[in-house]
């Protein structure tokens, strides 16, 4: 610490570049070690990357707070939130030009994701954060830097990273709430379920930009209908009752504005764990549930969409369908096939965001436009095969297309935000009022063909530098291109987007994308790498482990690669 103070006072008033001598060094403080991984080039550039490590003899976290690994994820998330809160409390904030004087740490939302902002193990707890090294113009403010690193930082560490300083009950509640969700999610499949929503859950959010729950006095709490009521066992909080959605085909029906999409949205997001008090901390869905929607304008590269679309005019091949600007129906077909290729097990769809001609062709249309004049095989004719042949379930919000009653295993009606089971009524209506439509398919779904990405079609460079950068949640700059992720709705956090970008770079650098491996093999290898070595393994520079990654699923990594406009694949 003395050494750090000396360096800072010796460079006070000098050019900003003199901060660089701190890079790669580490300093011993009474309670912790400070690592300076990266120093920014100027006060306006991306901030410097630092880390503090507190050894467990000081930090004192009991083993049961971070083992098994799901607890490490939960505790890391908790400590990141605390650290973030304490920055506001103990750091003075902006002082000087540009980002001068600021401390930052990754900021989790309602989800509890595996992150690199914090690591905890039997030896130490380590926080990775960002600092704007202070300057006046481009001159070093040595005294301010010393104030930040030798006065404020120790307060931050003391208040955030020592077990004795933290509210133990709240901490363990956070950890156990997360572990309960993980366990419930892992038990879904043995119970034949694809999702579970506990009684009392609050599903609606405050707004599109505020993901906190709608306040209790404005929200109708979820209450399971008795026909789908199941009980789940949680390791820490005991039994809980709620609605189990069985495998197969499930429809969510009901009048407009009665909470259908809100329920579906909760299922989409409950592939992730949520924080206590989120309202969805007892909602879990299959870890491989994937939101499907129409996405006209997206690029598609050699996807076998022939289960849904064939016989295009002029004999275009739909078993290797490519398009720079897919239509509503072809994009939705490609989204489904790609999800299946990447390991998707449950498809989540909302009629609102689907292409009508992809979803349904009713009797009258079948009579007017004969099958041999219609390339599209509507989803209704494949939905049962998907389950029977491939074991893939679908949860579908339907407001208008009653023909789907014929193919549903379960029908849930939302009325004033409360669910009721109406499967029997829907069957009876099917019987009394036949849709009259004919099934327009062969009796097999068909194979999902593997695709092999070609390394040469990825170019992360812009000029002579690699330029791969998350811009918010929804856009990933990749070299000269942008990967548009707006419609990949289960990417929730900009740190996931950032990780997706660096995962792709990693796969290129390490020759995982080698012209032989299939896309599914590549994303599978990435998943095992992260399981084995942690998420920081994807950092471009191992000496500068980044603290701002959150883990994306293989499904989202594949989705991003599939949306790269330059992507070329070979099909097997
Ligand atoms: P639908 O898809 O059936 O048209 P939405 O799910 O979009 O309906 O919900 C309509 C509105 O009702 C939204 O503003 C939503 O926030 C609100 N809402 C949804 N569920 C609840 C609930 N359980 N309690 C209170 N408001 C809700
Ligand atoms: Mg809706």
In which band, very low, low, confident or very high, does the pLDDT at 277 lie, cut at 50, 70 and 90?
Answer: very high
Burial of 164 (0-12, 13-18, 19+ CB in 10 A): exposed
Q: How far apart are CA 398 and CA 392, in angstroms?
A: 19
The pLDDT tens digits of the residues spanning 408-428 come to 999 999 999 999 999 999 999
The pLDDT of residue 312:
85
User: Which ligand ends up closest to the CA of 211?
Assistant: 1
Cα-to-centroid distance, 239 and ligand 1 (Å): 28
Q: Which of 257, 268, 279 to mutate to test the pocket of ligand 1 (most atoms within 8 A of CB)?
A: 257
Q: What is the mean pLDDT of residues 106-133?
A: 98
Nearest protein CA to atom 4 of ligand 1, as residue: 257
The pLDDT of residue 197:
98
Cα-to-centroid distance, 275 and ligand 1 (Å): 21
The pLDDT tens digits of the residues spanning 141-150 come to 999 999 999 9
Q: Mean pLDDT across the chain, nearest whole number?
A: 96
The pLDDT of residue 442:
81
Nearest protein CA to atom 1 of ligand 1, as residue: 257
Q: How far apart are CA 538 and CA 529, in angstroms?
A: 9
Question: Can you tell me which atom of ligand 1 is nearest the CA of 417?
Answer: 23
Q: Which of 259, 260, 264, 279 to mutate to test the pocket of ligand 1 (most atoms within 8 A of CB)?
A: 259
Q: How far apart are CA 246 and CA 188, in angstroms?
A: 9
The pLDDT of residue 97:
87
The model's pTM is 0.97
Q: How far apart are CA 254 and CA 412, in angstroms?
A: 8
Which residue would you say has higher pLDDT here, 543 or 7? 7
Cα-to-centroid distance, 196 and ligand 2 (Å): 20
Cα-to-centroid distance, 426 and ligand 1 (Å): 23
Which of helix, strand or coil describes residue 485?
A: coil
Percentage of residues of the chain with pLDDT beyond 70: 100
* Residue 542 clears pLDDT 90, i.e. is over it: no
Q: How far apart are CA 558 and CA 80, in angstroms?
A: 28
Q: How far apart are CA 524 and CA 202, in angstroms?
A: 34
Q: What is the mean pLDDT of residues 504-509?
A: 97
Q: How far apart are CA 142 and CA 139, in angstroms?
A: 9
Could you tell me which of 240, 32, 27 has the C-alpha nearest to residue 125? 32
Nearest protein CA to atom 11 of ligand 1, as residue: 257
In which band, very low, low, confident or very high, does the pLDDT at 447 lie, cut at 50, 70 and 90?
Answer: confident
In which band, very low, low, confident or very high, does the pLDDT at 441 lie, cut at 50, 70 and 90?
Answer: confident
Residues with CB under 6 A from ligand 1: 203-204, 214, 219-220, 254, 256-262, 414, 417
Cα-to-centroid distance, 179 and ligand 1 (Å): 29
Q: How far apart are CA 337 and CA 335, in angstroms?
A: 6
User: Which ligand ends up closest to the CA of 204?
Assistant: 1
Q: What is the mean pLDDT of residues 91-103?
A: 90
């Amino acid at each position: 610490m003395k050494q750090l103070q000396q360096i800072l006072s010796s460079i006070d008033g000098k050019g900003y570049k003199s901060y660089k001598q701190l890079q790669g060094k580490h300093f011993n403080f009474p309670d912790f070690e400070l690592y300076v991984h990266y120093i920014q080039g100027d006060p306006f550039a991306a901030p410097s990357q630092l880390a503090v490590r507190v050894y467990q003899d000081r930090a004192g976290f009991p083993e049961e707070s971070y083992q098994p690994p799901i607890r490490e994820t939960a505790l890391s998330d908790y400590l990141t939130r605390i650290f973030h809160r304490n920055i506001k409390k103990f750091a003075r904030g902006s002082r000087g030009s540009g980002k001068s004087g600021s401390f930052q740490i990754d900021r989790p939302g309602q989800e509890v994701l595996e992150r690199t902002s914090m690591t905890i193990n039997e030896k130490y707890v380590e926080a990775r954060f960002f600092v704007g090294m202070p300057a006046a113009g481009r001159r070093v403010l040595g005294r301010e830097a010393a104030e930040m690193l030798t006065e404020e930082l120790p307060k931050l560490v003391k208040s955030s990273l020592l077990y004795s300083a933290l509210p133990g009950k709240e901490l363990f509640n956070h950890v156990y709430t997360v572990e309960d969700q993980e366990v419930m999610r892992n038990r879904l499949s043995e119970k034949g379920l694809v999702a579970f929503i506990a009684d009392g859950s609050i599903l609606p959010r405050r707004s599109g930009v505020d993901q906190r729950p709608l306040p209790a006095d404005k929200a109708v709490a979820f209450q399971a209908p008795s026909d789908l009521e199941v009980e789940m066992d949680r390791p820490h909080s005991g039994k809980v009752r709620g609605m189990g959605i069985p495998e197969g085909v499930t429809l969510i029906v009901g009048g407009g504005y009665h909470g259908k999409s809100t329920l579906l949205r909760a299922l989409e997001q409950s592939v992730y764990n949520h924080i206590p008090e989120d309202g969805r901390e007892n909602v879990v869905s299959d870890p491989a549930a994937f939101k499907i929607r129409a996405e006209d304008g997206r690029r598609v590269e050699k996807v076998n969409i022939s289960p849904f679309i064939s016989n295009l005019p002029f004999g275009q091949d739909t078993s290797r369908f490519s398009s720079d600007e897919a239509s509503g129906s072809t994009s939705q077909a490609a989204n489904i096939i790609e999800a299946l290729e990447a390991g998707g097990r449950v498809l989540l769809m909302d009629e609102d965001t689907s292409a009508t001609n992809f979803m349904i062709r009713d009797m009258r249309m079948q009579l007017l436009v004969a099958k041999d004049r219609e390339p599209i095989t509507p989803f209704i004719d494949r939905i049962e095969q998907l389950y029977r042949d491939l074991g893939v379930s679908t949860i579908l919000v339907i407001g208008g297309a009653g023909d789907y009653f014929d193919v549903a295993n379960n029908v849930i009606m939302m009325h004033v935000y409360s669910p009721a089971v109406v499967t029997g009524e829907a069957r009876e209506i099917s019987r009394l009022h036949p849709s009259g439509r004919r099934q327009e398919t062969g009796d097999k779904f068909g194979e999902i063909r593997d695709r092999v990405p070609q390394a040469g079609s990825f170019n992360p460079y812009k000029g002579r530098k690699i330029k791969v950068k998350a811009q918010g949640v929804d856009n990933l700059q990749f070299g000269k291109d942008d990967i548009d992720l707006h419609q990949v709705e289960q990417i929730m956090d900009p740190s996931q987007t950032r990780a997706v970008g660096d995962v792709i770079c990693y796969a290129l650098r390490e020759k995982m994308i080698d012209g032989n491996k299939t896309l599914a093999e590549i994303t599978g290898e990435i998943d095992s790498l992260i399981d084995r070595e942690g998420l920081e393994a994807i950092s471009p520079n191992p000496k500068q482990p980044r603290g701002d990654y959150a883990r994306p699923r293989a499904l989202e990594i594949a989705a991003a690669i599939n949306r790269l406009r330059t992507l070329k694949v070979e099909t097997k």
